[in-house]
Amino acid sequence: MEEQVVYVVLAAIFGVFMAWGIGANDVANAMATSVGAKALTIRQAIFVAATFEFLGAVLAGGEVTSTIRKGIIDASLLSGTPETLIYGMLASLLAAGTWLLVASRNGWPVSTTHSIVGAIVGFAAVGVGIDAVHWGKVGTIVMSWVVSPLMAGFIAYLVFQSVQVLILRREDPLARAKRYVPVYIFLAAFTITLMTILKGLKHVGLTISVANAYLLATSIALLISLIGAFAIRRIEPDPKLEKKQHFYSVERVFAVLMIVTACSMAFAHGSNDVANAIGPLAAVIGIARTGLVGATSTIPIWVLALGGGGIVVGLATYGRRVIATVGHKITQLTPSRGFAAELAAATTIVIASGTGIPVSTTHTLVGAVLGVGLARGIEAIDLRVVGRIFVSWVVTIPAGALLAIVFFYVFKATLP
């Protein structure tokens, strides 16, 4: 029993450290869009991020956590030696954390998700055996890393095209914005709420029928949309500022919408990325409690809460500075553009979360921004970044794997 405590404590420390890192770094990308568009102040962004990251992690983070915990490895091969899985998961956490540290030292844009998946695959394939990896599942995950930015890009393209046609290109963009933005608010709120109810809530012990789920999502979205419409009605054109910037008042209407999509984005991020930190932790706790590999018990809520809490602390300590820096640099993303990117990315990520697939939030968001660009929404996009993303992929997965293998053997030799 003694060593079980050591394992759990170690896993908790590594897991919280990862969560802290995610909060300090990744969340910034999710929130900076809204800050850059001046839809939220930094203080408001921190508040939104903390609330919705936490909610996302707890309410909808279960599926991806399950995948990280037991979807990648065929645990039945390990039933005789449960401690192998414990060492492996500890090694994966440490490997992913180390790789992220090395990468940030060198300025490589790597993804937390890619690091942890690479690490788990690495330790399983070498430490246990090639057959221990669910290659089919890993294939699906890797495919999703290609599909998620493309899908987000496609949605963003359609959403922004509709904004152009319905609002921006018309003679009376302000009146049109006031009419249509509540509809977009409804869409954003509806998608996120529905996906959460349908896919996520069972981890909290709530089961709602599909029909009721649609009904509930519709009512919640309507309510949010009404509040939004109320806020929008109070926006009056400011002729002085309007002269300086033609779409000033229109953008202010979109800024209301962007508050909603910022919440969605934080929620989506929490639901997908919390798993990177606490998936391995959940696996270790599962084995330590039951002594069995592949126990079917659900993930305790407190573990999700621990991950969510870690993210919030990371956000509060360092994330705010990153948000300020990144937000300052992306002023081209005005609310009418930023909301389209956020809505597309959040929808894509929440769908991935619902199906238990870990995707990279940042890459998905980059895909969404490119989609807005293809719809002629952004003045200048530097395509060199796209190349860098591909390079970071090719390097991250083997690097995470290699480090995990090393740590795995170290733990095997030193831990009780």
Q: Which parts of this chain interact with other proteins (CB under 8 A)? A: 20-21, 24-25, 28-29, 32-33, 97, 100-101, 103-110, 164, 168-171, 245-247, 318, 321-322, 324-326, 329-330, 332-334, 362, 365-366, 369-370, 373, 375-385, 388-389
Buried b (16+ CB within 10 A) or exposed e, 338-368: bbbbbbbbbbbbbbbbbebbbbbbbbbbbbb
Q: Are 128 and 73 in contact (CB under 8 A)?
A: yes
Report the residue number, 2 or 171, with the smaller CB distance to other proteins.
171
Any residues with CB less than 8 A from the CB of 77 and at least 6 apart, and which? 128, 129, 131, 132
- What's the token pair of residue 63? 């599926």
Smallest separation (angstroms) from other proteins to the CB of 61: 20
Q: Exposed/middle/buried for 180, CB within 10 Å: 0-12, 13-18, 19+?
A: middle
What is the C-alpha separation between 181 and 199, in angstroms, rounded?
A: 27
What is the C-alpha separation between 40 and 259, in angstroms, rounded?
A: 7
What is the C-alpha separation between 169 and 161, in angstroms, rounded?
A: 10
Report the residue number, 62 or 308, with the smaller CB distance to other proteins.
308
Residue found under tokens 């796209």? 386
Question: What is the three-class DSSP state of 73?
Answer: strand
Smallest separation (angstroms) from other proteins to the CB of 33: 8
Dihedral (Cα; 66, 72, 75, 77), 10-degree rounding: 170
Smallest separation (angstroms) from other proteins to the CB of 132: 29
What is the C-alpha separation between 388 and 106, in angstroms, rounded?
A: 13
Report the residue number, 34 or 225, with the smaller CB distance to other proteins.
34
Smallest separation (angstroms) from other proteins to the CB of 273: 13
Q: Are 47 and 339 in contact (CB under 8 A)?
A: no
Smallest separation (angstroms) from other proteins to the CB of 140: 24
Smallest separation (angstroms) from other proteins to the CB of 129: 32
What is the C-alpha separation between 91 and 102, in angstroms, rounded?
A: 16
Report the residue number, 214 or 248, with the smaller CB distance to other proteins.
248
* Helices 361-374 + 335-354 axis angle, to 10: 140
CA distances from 160 to 62, 197, 223, 286, 338 (A): 32, 27, 24, 45, 10
